[in-house]
């Protein structure tokens, strides 16, 4: 945490950010650039460390990401912060830990088995689904990615967005919000087999849901799977260190194990009550945590609740990390898999499995499962010849991602802002960082023009 917490400067704006994940850290970073060194930026984090859903542990002697892992090389907000901080990135494709086949598993056999290393469209996929279906899918993912990338230019040109849907609309992404990925694919005459099998497998891996996800989320996931060019990286020392170092560099005063219980608009300031201490006044407060999970009482000047219920539900995702040797040929004849995607077949017992590293201490590979329910012992016993270590973590991972996502405005009331409703449309480290960037722009505008809006 910051070596030199900043002292308050009389008259300088005082901003509280609740949550130190991608959204809160990016908002803090942007605010420092907009407001200059005198602004007092304080981050309140419920957990004992920075990062939120970017979280790594030491397991079997190695560092393992449990949550948000992969960053696309087009992700300009996160990568520009990493570059400015001189942070080392590691490339996924360079990592021999991932060596092994891509397997699309239906519970009985591998529908697709391919050595993916360095290949954008593996031959096995082309053979099974035909080149034109894959090219149409690629075209769709590339178009959505180009739209998303236009957000950066709009932000750089000074566009301010008051609502998540305004940002998405300005980037031409509204057409991807009203329908499922399966519907978007069907409009492009992409074969249902490709959607029900391979695409569903990718989406179960990335979002715990199949092709009924809102099309924008689906296309972002497919871009992440390499269908729209670019490649994937992660922070060498763990993704959360990007956020910890960013907060440190901008000298944000960061309070850890400081859960906020109340945010109250009172007179000309906003009171933040954190960690059992007295309420402290701020000029602006940004809530960078899902409102449904944050457990904060947020009230306006008349004691009125500022947050309406969207009926949004976060999904349980069980992450199970295993050190062990896979049962030979469990996934059919051929080399041991590097990534196992699955079709929607409940008897499989998990959504995805990937080889994520190698334990030098135990001399066996490290694997990570995602499942919608706690991974059954019977699955472990079947998939592994021998299990040497297991770590389980349950996430409230992301909202159920469905068409016609609903949002509350970024500005709940002057002085109180939220970022995480953006996740109703798509939930990644970069999209959250980008939404955080926009909310910082909005806060800065409001602070500079107190009479406007
Ligand atoms: C298993 C898993 C795998 C994923 N894989 C990827 C991936 O590979 N690539 C990718 O881009 N994305 C991935 N994601 C999604 C990505 O991790 C999230 O979209 C992103 O991290 C969300 O960031 P955030 O800052 O909006 O929220 P969070 O990271 O959840 O941050 C919110 C913070 O607020 C804190 N908080 C909550 N309530 C309070 C309170 N009352 N007071 C103070 N603090 C509070 C929380 O402790 C938390 O630190 C994955 C997510 C999961 C769960």
Pocket of ligand 1 (CB under 6 A): 18-24, 44-47, 52-54, 67-70, 259-260, 288-289, 294-296, 317, 319, 395, 397-398, 420, 427-430, 432
Judgement on whether residues 226 and 240 belong to the same structural domain of the protein = no
Calpha distance 68→51 (Å, rounded) = 10
* 188 within some domain: yes
Task: Tell me which of 230, 254, 276 is where a domain ends.
Answer: 230
* Residue 192 domain flag: yes
Residue 306 CA to residue 297 CA, distance in Å, equals: 9
Residues 145 and 212 in one domain: yes
Q: Do residue 150 and residue 40 come from a single domain?
A: no
Q: Is residue 165 included in any domain, yes or no?
A: yes
My answer on whether 304 and 438 are in the same domain is: yes
> What are the angstrom distances between the C-alpha of 106 and each of 52, 110, 113, 384?
33, 7, 12, 18
Q: Give the CATH number for residue 240.
A: 3.50.50.60
> What CA–CA distance (Å, rounded) separates 270 from 262?
10
Measuring from atom 48 of ligand 1, which residue has the nearest CA? 52
In a domain, 442, yes or no: yes
Residues 299, 162 within the same domain: no
Quick one: 143 and 206 in the same domain? yes
The token duo for 382 is 């079947």
The whole-number pLDDT of residue 192 equals 97
Dist. CA 348 → ligand 1 center (Å): 27
User: Domain end: 230, 248, 272, which one?
Assistant: 230
Judge whether 430 and 71 are in contact, CB under 8 Å. yes
Q: Whose CA is nearest to atom 2 of ligand 1?
A: 67
Q: How many domains does the chain have?
A: 2
Last residue of a domain, one of 199, 230, 261: 230
Q: Are residues 440 and 305 in the same domain?
A: yes
Confidence (pLDDT) at 389: 98
pLDDT of residue 8: 64
Which structural domain, as residue segments, surrounds residue 167? Answer: 130-230
Tell me whether residue 413 is in a domain: yes
Please report whether residue 99 resides in a domain.
no
- 293 shares a domain with 155: no
Q: How far is the CA of 108 from the centre of ligand 1 (A)?
A: 35
Looking at the fold, whether 135 and 226 belong to one and the same domain comes out as yes
Best residue among 67, 98, 290 to mutate for probing ligand 1, ranked by most atoms within 8 Å of CB: 67
Instruction: Give the residue carrying structure tokens 């397997």.
Output: 103
Is 85 among the domain residues? no
Same domain, 152 and 191: yes
In a domain, 440, yes or no: yes
Domain co-membership, 221 together with 156: yes
DSSP 195-261: IIIIIHHHHHHHHSS-TTSBHHHHHHHHIIIIITS--EEEETT-HHHHHHHHHHHTT-EEESS--EE
Which of 387, 391, 384, 262 is CA-nearest to residue 318?
A: 391
Q: Please tell me the predicted confidence (pLDDT) of residue 444.
A: 98
What is the residue-level pLDDT of the chain in tens, covering all 453 positions? 444 545 667 789 999 999 999 999 999 999 999 999 999 999 999 999 999 999 999 999 999 999 999 999 999 999 999 999 999 999 876 544 456 889 999 999 999 998 755 455 678 899 999 999 999 999 999 999 999 999 999 999 999 999 999 999 999 999 999 999 999 999 999 999 999 999 999 999 999 999 999 999 999 999 988 889 898 999 999 999 999 999 999 999 999 999 999 999 998 899 999 988 899 999 999 999 999 999 999 999 999 999 999 999 999 999 999 999 999 889 998 888 999 999 999 999 999 999 999 999 999 999 999 999 999 999 999 999 999 999 999 999 999 999 999 999 999 999 999 999 999 999 999 999 999 999 999 999 999 986 544
User: Do 282 and 151 share a structural domain?
Assistant: no
331 Cα to the center of ligand 1, angstroms: 32
Residue 453 CA, ligand 1 centroid: distance in Å: 30
CA 398 to chain CA mean position, Å: 8
- In angstroms, what CA-CA distances link 428 with 38, 121, 139, 150? 31, 23, 21, 17
Mutate to test the pocket of ligand 1, among 53, 217, 418 (most ligand atoms within 8 A of CB): 53
Ligand 1: which atom is nearest the Cα of residue 69?
8
Please give the full DSSP string across 122-139, using - where no structure is assigned: -HHHHHHH-HHHHHHHHH
């Amino acid at each position: 945490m910051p070596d030199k917490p900043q002292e308050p400067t009389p008259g300088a704006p005082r901003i509280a950010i609740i949550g130190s994940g991608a959204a809160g850290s990016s908002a803090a970073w942007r605010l420092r650039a907009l407001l200059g060194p005198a602004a007092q930026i304080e981050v309140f984090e419920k957990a004992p460390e920075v990062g939120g859903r970017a979280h790594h542990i030491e397991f079997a002697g190695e560092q393992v990401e449990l949550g948000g892992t992969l960053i696309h090389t087009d992700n300009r907000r996160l990568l520009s912060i990493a570059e400015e901080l001189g942070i080392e990135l590691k490339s996924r494709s360079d990592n021999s830990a991932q060596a092994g086949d891509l397997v699309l598993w239906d519970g009985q056999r591998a529908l697709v088995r391919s050595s993916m290393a360095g290949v954008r469209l593996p031959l096995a996929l082309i053979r099974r689904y035909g080149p034109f279906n894959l090219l149409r899918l690629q075209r769709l993912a590339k178009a959505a990615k180009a739209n998303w990338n236009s957000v950066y230019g709009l932000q750089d040109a000074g566009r301010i967005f008051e609502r998540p849907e305004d940002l998405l609309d300005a980037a031409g992404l509204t057409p991807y919000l009203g329908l499922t990925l399966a519907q978007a694919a069907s409009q492009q005459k992409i074969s249902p087999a490709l959607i029900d099998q391979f695409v569903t497998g990718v989406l179960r891996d990335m979002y715990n849901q199949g092709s009924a996800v809102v099309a924008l989320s689906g296309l972002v996931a497919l871009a992440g799977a390499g269908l729209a060019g670019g490649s994937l990286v992660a922070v060498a020392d763990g993704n959360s260190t990007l956020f910890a170092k960013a907060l440190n560099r901008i000298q944000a005063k960061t309070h850890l194990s400081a859960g906020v219980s109340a945010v109250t608009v009172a007179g000309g300031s906003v009171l933040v009550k954190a960690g059992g201490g007295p309420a402290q006044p701020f000029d602006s407060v940004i809530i960078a945590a899902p409102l449904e999970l944050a457990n904060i009482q947020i009230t306006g000047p008349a004691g009125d609740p500022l947050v309406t219920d969207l009926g949004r539900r976060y999904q349980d995702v069980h992450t199970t990390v295993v050190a062990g040797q896979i049962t030979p040929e469990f996934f059919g004849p051929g080399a041991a898999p590097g990534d196992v995607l699955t079709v929607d077949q409940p008897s499989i017992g998990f959504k995805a499995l990937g080889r994520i590293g190698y334990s030098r201490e135990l001399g066996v590979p490290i694997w990570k499962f995602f499942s919608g329910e706690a991974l059954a012992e019977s699955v472990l016993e079947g998939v592994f010849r021998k299990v040497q270590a297991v770590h389980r973590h349950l996430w409230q991972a992301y909202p159920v991602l469905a068409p016609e996502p609903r949002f509350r405005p970024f500005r709940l009331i002057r002085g109180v802002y939220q970022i995480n409703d953006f996740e109703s449309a798509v939930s990644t480290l970069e999209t959250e960082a980008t939404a955080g960037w926009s909310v910082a722009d909005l806060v800065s505008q409001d602070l500079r023009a107190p009479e406007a809006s």
